[in-house]
């Protein structure tokens, strides 16, 4: 094999391992964790725990995603949105994935323990177990409430970021947790609605499969109402000011509009747009928190 061909093969293999980490999902996790770090302190953050915390959380999140790919490779092979992942395509095998996840996760936990603090490491480990084991292995194939209960793991990143900078978990950090916890069901159920046939074929008991489309649409609406209520909590606990409150209410009105439309006049195209908007919503909401935070400091 020529040097150029060998280099191309190596690059391709690195990219396959990179795909195991679900980079788009992890980027949102890291983003919310960083917001938690920045909100936790009144001024400039300490550089070491900030950088080490970001790297450590990203590595463990990537390892958890790889474990999810390992456990769900048969389901991934059935569903259109996941069948191009490395395991279903046979580009990587189970042992390679397990070793990769173990090494990456182990490095991430070590970084958090030695260069951040023990609390953040233990909370991150608990989050890993919650997602990779409790949600993926136990809850997802067992109950249609999988995404509600398992959503606790997905809601942890801002708490991890907060703990990385302060060494504790406060009420303010928990408000950030509650926002993502309430956001998760309408976000994923919008996806599950337009992917319901694939979930049924894969044997995954998502809510639209077990309880039907109409019941799921109602739950999307109800959880969106809960989400909008939770989104004003940072203002209520004085973590944010009026800039954030106005932003949260405006973004919440947009999400409510989608949820009401889904409930009244459903279509797969609308569910797809709702799913995409939900990602924009969470990103914009946390960005508004950050902007409000620094404007309050400077003004």
Q: How far apart are CA 37 and CA 40, in angstroms?
A: 5
Range of lowest pLDDT (65-69, 197-201, 252-256): 197-201
What is the pLDDT of the chain when averaged over all its residues?
Answer: 94
What angle, rounded to 10 degrees, do the helices at 157-166 and 47-71 form? 150
Answer whether 266's CB lies under 8 Å from 213's CB. Answer: yes
Kindly provide the b/e burial profile for residues 275-290, where b requires at least 16 CB atoms within 10 angstroms of the residue's own CB.
bebbeebbbbbbebbb
Give residue 199's pLDDT band: very low, low, confident or very high (50, 70, 90). very high
- Domain boundaries along the sequence of the chain: 10-169, 170-299
- Give me the pLDDT at residue 129, please: 96
For residues 62-72, one letter each, b for 16 or more C-beta atoms within 10 angstroms of the residue's C-beta and e for the rest, the string is: bbbbbbbbbbb
User: Of 166-170, 258-262, 279-283, 295-299, where does mean pLDDT reach its minimum?
Assistant: 295-299
Residue 7 or residue 279, greater confidence: 279
In 3D space, the residue among 20, 22, 21, 61 whose CA is nearest the CA of residue 158 turns out to be 61
Q: What's the length of the chain?
A: 299
* pLDDT for residue 9: 73
CA distances, 299 to each of 45, 61, 245 (Å): 19, 36, 17
- pLDDT (0 to 100) of residue 8: 58
CATH of domain 10-169: 1.10.357.140
Is pLDDT at 6 greater than 90 in this prediction? no
3-state secondary structure of 201: helix
Average pLDDT for 256-277: 97
Report the pLDDT value the prediction gives residue 4, as an integer from 0 to 100: 45
Contact 259, 269 (CB under 8 A): no
Q: What is the DSSP string of 134-185?
A: IIIIIITTT-TTHHHHHHHHHT-HHHHHHHHHHSS--HHHHHHHHHHHHHHH
Using the predicted structure, report yes or no on whether residue 196 has a pLDDT greater than 70. Answer: yes
pTM of structure: 0.94
Do 173 and 231 contact (CB within 8 A), yes or no? no
């Amino acid at each position: 094999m020529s040097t150029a061909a060998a280099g191309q093969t190596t690059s391709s293999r690195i990219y396959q391992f990179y795909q195991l980490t679900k980079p788009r999902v992890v980027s949102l996790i890291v983003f919310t964790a960083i917001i938690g770090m920045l909100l936790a302190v009144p001024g400039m953050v300490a550089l070491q725990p900030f950088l080490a915390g970001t790297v450590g959380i990203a590595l463990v999140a990537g390892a958890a995603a790889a474990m999810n790919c390992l456990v769900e490779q048969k389901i991934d092979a059935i569903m259109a949105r996941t069948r191009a992942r490395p395991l279903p395509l046979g580009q990587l095998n189970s042992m390679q994935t397990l070793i990769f996840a173990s090494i990456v996760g182990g490095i991430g936990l070590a970084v958090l323990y030695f260069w951040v603090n023990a609390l953040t490491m233990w909370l991150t480990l608990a989050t890993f177990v919650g997602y990779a084991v409790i949600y993926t292995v136990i809850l997802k194939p067992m109950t249609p409430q999988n995404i509600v209960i398992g959503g606790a793991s997905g809601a942890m990143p801002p708490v991890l970021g907060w703990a990385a900078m302060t060494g504790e978990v406060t009420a303010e950090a928990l408000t950030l947790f509650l926002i993502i916890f309430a956001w998760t069901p309408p976000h994923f159920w919008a996806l599950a609605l337009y992917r319901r046939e694939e979930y049924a074929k894969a044997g995954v008991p998502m809510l639209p499969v077990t309880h039907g489309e109409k019941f799921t649409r109602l739950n999307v609406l109800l959880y969106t109402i809960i989400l909008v209520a939770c989104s004003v909590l940072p203002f209520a606990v004085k973590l944010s000011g009026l800039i954030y409150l106005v932003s949260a209410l405006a973004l919440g009105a947009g999400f409510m509009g989608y949820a009401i439309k889904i409930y009244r006049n459903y279509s797969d195209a609308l569910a797809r747009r709702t799913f995409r908007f939900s990602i924009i919503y969470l990103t914009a909401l946390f960005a508004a928190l950050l902007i409000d935070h620094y404007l309050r400091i400077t003004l």
